[in-house]
Amino acid sequence: MKAPPFKPPATGDMVGDYRIVRKLGDGGFGFVYEVERAGRYYALKVIRARELESWGQREINILRHVVHPNVVRFRACDRWPDPDHGYLCFVMDLVVGRTLDEWALDENPTARHVVRVLLEVARALADILVQGVLHRDLKRENILIRDLDGRPVLVDFGIGWLAGEPTITGEREPPGTD
């Protein structure tokens, strides 16, 4: 049996025990939603195609591996809508905040404040590199500034690299954002 044609979940739909609250975004690999379970809110990523599952599994492995306060935290994974043949999906902590560029436009931070935030990002990248991880898609949309404390959080490790994991692409140049 194969997965049914992909139809993304909509607001109010259930994905396992999680109720879709709203769509947060979409990209080449899938859709990200704010979801609710038992009164708590999370982020859920649904991989849009079976051909992309190796990338989704790589992202799950990275998030399970990395322990850092500036990296979104992995919670669980499953398949949707069918537990055996559905599309890969996984749950992470919901980072309530804005992208780096939204934060900069809204707050008009001082140069000193920007340098503090970017230094924290650079230190986080150095720390996760020691743990054997490269993000490879670092851009303003993948750095969220958490409303709670103003600290940056790295998200979307979809094309990341984890030491010891097999190569997914046959390309000479690894995937990434210029």
Q: Which domains, from first to last, does the chain contain?
A: 14-93 (3.30.200.20), 97-162 (1.10.510.10)
| Per-residue pLDDT reduced to its tens digit, 11-61 | 999 999 999 999 999 888 899 999 999 999 999 999 998 888 888 999 999
Q: CA Rg, the chain, in Å? A: 17
pLDDT at 68 over 70: yes
Q: Are 76 and 68 in contact (CB under 8 A)?
A: no
- The more confidently predicted of residues 1 and 126 is 126
Active site (annotated) includes residue 137? yes
Give burial (CB, 10 Å; 0-12/13-18/19+) of 93: middle
How much is the pTM?
0.90
| Per-residue pLDDT reduced to its tens digit, 112-139 | 999 999 999 999 999 999 999 999 999 9
Position 97 scores a pLDDT of 97
Contacts of 127-130 with C-beta under 8 Å, sequence gap 24+, read: 127/68, 127/70, 128/66, 128/68, 128/71, 128/154
- 3-state class of 125 per DSSP? helix
Q: Give CA torsion, residues 95, 98, 101, 102, to 10 deg.
A: 170
pLDDT at 2 over 70: no
Catalytic residue among 13, 137, 149, 178: 137
